[in-house]
Amino acid sequence: IPVDDFDLVIFGGTGDLARRKILPGLYRRCLSGQVPDDARIIGAARSDMDTEGYRQMIREAIAEFGGPEAADGKAIDRFLTRLHYVTVDARGDGGWKELHDLLRKDVINAFYFSVGPGLFGDLAERLLRFEIADTNARIVVEKPFGRDLESARALNATLAQHFNEDQIYRIDHYLGKETVQNLMAVRFGNVLFEPLWNNHYVDHIQITVAETVGVEGRGAYYDKSGAMRDMVQNHLMQLLCLIAMEPPSMFDADAVRDEKLKVIRALQPVDYHHIVRGQYDKTRTSADYRTDAEDPRSHTESFVALKAHINNWRWAGVPFYMRTGKKLKARSSEIAVVFKDLGHSIFPGDEARHRNILSIQLQPNEGIKLQVTIKEPGPGGMRLVDVPLDMTFAEALGPDAEGVPDAYERLIMDVIRGNQTLFMRGDEVEAAWAWTDPIIEGWKARNDVPKLYDQGSSGPEDALMLLHRDGRKWREIK
C-alpha cells in the first residue's frame, strides 16, 4: 500500500547506519512502488559535499549493501534523483536556512536523527528555531537511548522540551522484524494459543540472541556498554514484552505499549545468583575480548544469561531465561515457548516427556514452528516422534514477489504512515533501564569478573548450569 508524499531528512546521512541500512532500505521500498514519485530524501551531515557527491556516495552504498535489487542500474538512477544533500552542523547555524527553504511544507516531514544522542538536543532546538519542524513533524531516534535510567530520562526530557510524545519514534529494529509481528498475529489471531499462554500450560520461556561476530572495530565503544546495555535492555526486553503482555484491547500504538509497560513494571528484580556474565577467550588464531576492547583489564561482558520472573497472575512461577552474546556457535535468535510435559502417557514405553514447543525464529531465517508429537509412520507400532509444524509464511503463502521488507524498511514506512505501534515509548525505555540499572550497579559494587568462554561455544559453563539446576536445558544454538 503506497504511503503519502513525504520529505525525509536524515541527519547523519553520510554515516555508517545511513549507508548500510537506511538508504538501501528506502531504495528497496521505492522499487516496490510504495513510495510516491515526488517523495524526497535529504541527507544532512557535517561533511562538506554537494547533492551530486551525495548521490555518488549513496550509489556506492546501494551497490554494496542493497542486496540483489542493487543490480538494476536504471532503478538506482531513478532513486538517486530523489536525493538531496545539505551540509549542516548540529552545533552551528550554517546550512539550516537552506534546509528550511528546501523542505516542502505541504507533505509529511520526517527527521531521522542518525547521529549520536549527544546531538539530539542541538538538532531539536535548531529544527524549531529555524522553523523547519512543526507539531506535525516526525522525529526518529536510534539506539542507544541512554546508558542508564538517569541519562534516558535526560534524553526524554530534551526531546519533550521540543516535541510531543506522539511525534517521537524510538527505533528498536527487532520490533520491525516480520516474525515479531507475526508473533502477535499468531497469539491474538488464533483461538488455539491464548488459552494455553499462562503458568498452567507453559513450563518456561527462552529468549536467545546469539551472534558469531565479536566486537569487531567497535571495541572501545562497546566496552563502555556491554551485552546488558547493548542487547538486553532493549532488544531482549522488547521480545519479552511481546511474549508476555496481556492482549491489548486493540492493535493500536498506545494500547500495545501500555501492555508492554505493565510487563516491564511487573518484572521481579533479578537475584544475582540468576545472572551469568561472560567474556570470550582467545583462540590460537583470534584475540580475546579484552584485546578487542583495547582494555586488558576490562570487566565488561560480551555475554549475559539470566533468569527473570514476572510478578503477575499469568506468569507466576514461570521462568523467562534470556541470553545473548558475541562469538558464539551460530548466528541465531529465537524465542521458545516451552509447554509443560504431558504428565501421563497412555502409550506403552513412552515417558510422557513430549513437549510442545513454539519456536519463533528471528535469525537467520525468520519463521514460526510448533513442535508436536505424532506417530512415527510405518508398521513399527505406536512409536511417537516429535515433528515441527511449520508456520513459515514463505512456504505457506508462496514466494512474495516483493520480498519481505527488512526491519528498517518497514519501520521507516511506519513513520511516514504515523504508526507508532512498533516504536518504544519514553516510559517503556525508562522502565527497562529501571530494571537493568540495579543489575549493572550490583556487578560494579561487587567488582564482578565475567567468566571466560570459548569462542564458537554456547557461552560459559555457568550459563548451562543456570537451567540445569532447574532441571531444564537451553535450546541448541544453531
Contact 225, 147 (CB under 8 A): yes
Instruction: State the nearest-atom distance from the C-beta of 115 to ligand NAD, in Å.
Output: 4
114 binds ligand NAD (CB under 6 A): yes
Active site residue 468: no
Q: Select from 33, 67, 94, 116 the one that contacts ligand NAD (CB under 6 A).
A: 116
**Known binding site: residues?**
12-19, 46, 143, 173, 177, 211, 230, 326
CB closer to ligand NAD out of 21 and 82: 21
Please identify which residue in the block is written with the cell numbers 511474549: 243
Say how many C-beta atoms besides its own lie within 10 A of residue 391's C-beta.
18
Instruction: State the nearest-atom distance from the C-beta of 400 to ligand NAD, in Å.
Output: 26
- With contacts defined by CB under 6 A, name the span among 11-19, 25-33, 204-212, 386-394 that binds ligand NAD: 11-19
CB closer to ligand NAD out of 58 and 90: 90
444 binds ligand NAD (CB under 6 A): no
Q: Select from 49, 83, 88, 368 the one that contacts ligand NAD (CB under 6 A).
A: 88
At position 9, the amino acid (one-letter code) is V
Helices 426-446 + 149-162 axis angle, to 10: 160
Cβ-proximal residue to ligand NAD, closest one = 15
CB closer to ligand NAD out of 91 and 105: 91
CB closer to ligand NAD out of 119 and 185: 119
Instruction: State the nearest-atom distance from the C-beta of 19 to ligand NAD, in Å.
Output: 8
- State the number of binding residues for ligand NAD (CB under 6 A): 23
115 binds ligand NAD (CB under 6 A): yes
137 binds ligand NAD (CB under 6 A): no
Instruction: State the nearest-atom distance from the C-beta of 113 to ligand NAD, in Å.
Output: 8
- With contacts defined by CB under 6 A, name the span among 32-40, 56-64, 103-111, 116-124 that binds ligand NAD: 116-124
Per-residue contact flags (x/-) with ligand NAD for residues 28 to 47, judged by CB under 6 A: -----------------xxx
Residues 6 or more apart whose Cβ sits within 8 Å of residue 297: 290
176 binds ligand NAD (CB under 6 A): no
139 binds ligand NAD (CB under 6 A): no
**Known binding site for NADP(+): residues?**
12-19, 46, 143
Of 162, 204, 235, 309, the active-site residue reads: 235
Instruction: State the nearest-atom distance from the C-beta of 441 to ligand NAD, in Å.
Output: 23
Instruction: State the nearest-atom distance from the C-beta of 18 to ligand NAD, in Å.
Output: 6
Distance spanning both ends of the chain, measured CA to CA: 36
Nearest 5°: phi and psi at 373?
Answer: -105, 130
Contact 130, 97 (CB under 8 A): yes
Q: Select from 7, 142, 334, 406 the one that contacts ligand NAD (CB under 6 A).
A: 142
**Known binding site for substrate: residues?**
173, 177, 211, 230, 326
Instruction: State the nearest-atom distance from the C-beta of 91 to ligand NAD, in Å.
Output: 5
Site for ligand NAD in 317-346 (CB under 6 A): none
In our burial notation (b when 16+ CB lie closer than 10 A, e otherwise), range 325-354 reads: bbbbbeebbbbbbbbeebeeeeeeeeeeeb
* Whole-number Å distance between alpha carbons of 439 and 445: 10
218 binds ligand NAD (CB under 6 A): no
CB closer to ligand NAD out of 115 and 183: 115
Site for ligand NAD in 41-80 (CB under 6 A): 45-47
CB closer to ligand NAD out of 2 and 116: 116
Instruction: State the nearest-atom distance from the C-beta of 220 to ligand NAD, in Å.
Output: 13
- Three cell numbers, residue 193: 494459543
Q: Select from 16, 150, 376, 441 the one that contacts ligand NAD (CB under 6 A).
A: 16
Point out the residues that are catalytic.
235
Sites of contact with ligand NAD (CB under 6 A): 11-18, 45-47, 88-91, 114-117, 119, 142-144
